[in-house]
Amino acid sequence: MKNIQFTKMDGAGNDFMVIDGITQKIDLEPSQIRTLSDRKKGIGFDQLLLLESSKKPGIDFNYRIHNADGSEAEQCGNGARCLYLFVKNKQLCSKTEIKVETKNSVMTIKDGPDEAITVDMGFPELSPSKIPFKASRKKSFYQLPIGKENIKIGAVSMGNPHAVQIVENVNLAPVLTQGPVIEKHDFFPNSCNAGFVEIINKNHISIRVWERGVGETLSCGTGACAAAAISIIWGLARSPVLVSTRGGQLTVNWSDQSQNLLLTGPARQVFCGEISI
């Protein structure tokens, strides 16, 4: 058995177990992560975030993301804000802007307005081979066969793959039934996150997201970015986009579509603890 110190954090309803892997030696197996994620017998979280030191010039920290099922994710926007607050609270860095490296990208995180935190989420990737998504060429939308239906989706990667669809009423959307089917769809070789989007007005959307390796969460940062990007591309929204989730509100800025997309939102520390595993 080993004792692990951790911090439970929340970003607009997306909850995380954050671990300092700089001052502690951490090497968790997927089965151990699944045990920790159990909301009745463990800590309970959507993702486990592991902060590690970096030896690369210009990179402040390594940022590893593990889903509740033990799989490693490429990206997490809500988690990035929590990681930034964790670094500040632990006084691990005095900078007001830090760069962290994830499994497949580098993210810049900084102070935002009104105590919020802003994350540079990179450029929305629409090329099928890079999402990845099975299609012969890049299109603004695709027809995704689900049973006897064809669902109009936008396919995009925000560092991780997303299938985004527009619905009339997000509260009535078939998230729990259609979400897991889309997650494992053959058209997405690496599986995907399934986003359901209701257009409130040109600057406001409401979303629900079935997250790959987790299930439906109260909020999803990359899902908010994917939803806003597709809504803008389809001409249904314009920047800045207020994104309402079941756990809180986020703001996506993408006024110049030749530049990276910015995600702004809250982060808070819930409690600190220690667990033996």
Residues with active-site annotation: 76, 220
Rounded to whole angstroms, how far apart are CA atoms 166 and 173? 10
Q: CA neighbours within 13 Å on the CB side: how many for 263?
A: 37
- Tokens 């890049």 correspond to 138
Residue 82 belongs to what H/E stretch? helix 77-89
State both tokens at 150: 């064809």
- Tokens 């009339």 correspond to 168
State both tokens at 158: 């925000």
Backbone dihedral angles phi then psi of residue 186, each to the nearest 5 degrees: -60, -25
Instruction: Quote the Cα angle for 60-65-71, to 5°.
Output: 150
Q: Are 130 and 83 in contact (CB under 8 A)?
A: no
142: left (phi over 0), alpha (psi -120 to 50) or beta: beta
Rounded to whole angstroms, how far apart are CA atoms 88 and 14? 19
Tell me the longest C-alpha to C-alpha distance in the chain: 55
Beta bridge partner(s), residue 150: 145
State both tokens at 93: 């860095």
Rounded to whole angstroms, how far apart are CA atoms 135 and 133? 6
